[in-house]
Amino acid sequence: MSLPQAARNTVIQLIGRVFSTLFGIVALAAVTRYLGQEGFGWYTTVFTFLQFFGILSDFGLTLITAQMLAEPGADEEKLLANLFSFRLILSGIFFGAACVSVWFFPYPAIIKWGVLVLSLSFYATTLQNIFVGFYQKHLRMEKVAWGDAVGRFIILVGYILVVWQKWSLLPILAMSVLANVTQFFWLWYAAKRLIHLRWEVTWLVYKEIFKRSWPVAISIAFNLIYLKADILVLSLARTQQEVGLYGAAYRIIDVLTTVPAMFMGIMLPLLTFAWSAGDKETFKHYFRRAYDMMFLLALPAVFGGVYLAKPLMIFLAGAEFADSGVFLQVLLLASAAIFLAAVSAHAVIAVGKQRAIIWWYVLDATLSLAGYIILIPRYGALAAAWVTVFSEVFIAVATFITVFKVIGAWPQRSIFLKSLLASVLMVIIISLLPALHIIFICLIAVIIYFVVLYLTKGITKEMVLEMVKKS
């Protein structure tokens, strides 16, 4: 890929991500203000319940798809056909189980019907992820970014319509179904122009897919426990109002952590190809560059977000959600670990060490679940947030140790220190500013951060050009 083409694709992807994030934030603002604490608690519970089954149905296929397609000599068309049919069958089983099992939980009827409606949205999302792996391999992630932007725009328009018509929770969830089904067909149509798609079941290919994916699937299953069990336990042990407050803060984190997922989606094929080719030095270079980018993105978000958490929640979700600010402050610490874990977890996949991290995930899930069950009934959402921090830090350290044993490479300290300095100075300066609207404060903060970063050479023209070229 030529540099001009690569630059164009990177810019398109960035614009798409910006638009999708903005649409997601505005949609969050609309739905929280309309539903209130209890209604948003219902909304959060429905999503979290289905996320359990959605992540299980993924079975590690999102990561495995990118890895298998990136390997030299892979029969792309045959592999993609089998991966798609495998996911279609598996997702049908899991989401069918979700629709049945929810009726055995002590939830209000609105939540149970919500699960039935939203399961269609999650089904479409899981099918999309096969195409995500395909676009990762071809370094065409701008297609995914634009598809996500289209989906979030539909959700935004749908939510505005719901608020205007004063409809209930179920029509809101139906808008998510419409958005994700549309996004699926967007990605499917775009993929058809690059490859002939078909249904195929080849048992030898299925066997290889299962062999590759089951260690990742087990890791993800236990990852799911420490990642989402907090909201599920909270929904059973505390009020839906508290779930709503916690869920509003968590949605901000969900939006924020799509950034490392998107970036590492670009890097995974590069890491996999370098490792498969036996080029350990190139692998280390990409590994360090990925950490550099995570430091540059995570540190200002955490420092700035912790300082501005309460006014941010009031601005984004409404005054009724001001108490969500304290939960956001804690969860932002977890988001920093998520940013860093994204690098090491994808590197684990690239070097084929999925089995080595299974027991780390088992231990993390066990400790986290115990913490949730013991602490949430007594201390509520704040306990959920702090246990989440522990869980994310634990897995970030565990995955890094696993990769380090294989490649022996450390992240560069210079970028970390320069980003840390810029983040601290940013917070100090904005704390001295007079009372301004939160938007202006955020804009000023961004400017301060990048000015300090530029002056300290924390980011250079050469670094930007390299990342653009590889993207």
Per-residue model confidence (pLDDT) at position 206: 75
Quick one: pLDDT band at residue 141, thresholds 50, 70, 90?
low
Report which of 135, 8, 170, 113 is spatially closest to residue 65, judged by C-alpha positions: 135
For range 220-248, the mean pLDDT = 84
Is the pLDDT assigned to residue 130 strictly greater than 70?
Answer: yes
Q: Using the predicted structure, report yes or no on whether residue 73 has a pLDDT greater than 70.
A: no
**Residue 404 scores a pLDDT above 60:** yes
pLDDT in tens, 25-60: 777 777 888 888 888 899 889 988 988 888 777 777
429 pLDDT above the threshold of 90: yes
- Cα separation, 63 vs 271, whole angstroms: 12
Is the predicted pLDDT of residue 80 greater than 80, yes or no? no
pLDDT score of 124 more than 70: yes
Residue 300 has pLDDT above 90, yes or no: yes
Give the lowest-confidence range in 5-9, 164-168, 333-337. Answer: 5-9
Query: 463: part of which helix (H) or strand (E)?
Result: helix 461-470
Residue 186 CB burial class (10 angstroms; 0-12, 13-18, ≥19)? buried
The string of DSSP codes covering 51-74 is HHHHHHHHTTHHHHHHHHHHSTT-
Residue 8 reports pLDDT greater than 60: no
Q: What is the mean pLDDT of residues 272-284?
A: 83
Determine phi and psi for 80, rounding to 5 degrees: -65, -40
154 lies in which domain range? 3-470
pLDDT of 4 reads 47
Cβ count within 10 A of residue 174 = 18
Q: What is the pLDDT of residues 157-196, one digit of tens each?
A: 887 888 787 778 888 888 888 888 888 888 888 777 766 6
**Which pLDDT value is given to residue 137?**
64
Compute the distance between CA of residue 73 and CA of residue 70 in angstroms, rounded to an integer.
9
Question: What is the residue-averaged pLDDT of the chain?
Answer: 82
pTM, whole model, 2 decimals? 0.77
Six-digit token pair at 156? 């935004």
What is the rounded distance in angstroms from the CA atom of residue 148 to the CA atom of residue 184? 10
pLDDT of residue 311: 92
Residue 79 to residue 233: CA distance in whole angstroms? 39
In this predicted structure, which of 378-387, 418-427, 451-460 has the lowest mean pLDDT?
A: 451-460
User: What band does 5 get if pLDDT is binned at 50, 70 and 90?
Assistant: very low
Q: Which of the four pLDDT bands, split at 50, 70 and 90, describes residue 6?
A: very low
Q: How many domains does the chain have?
A: 1
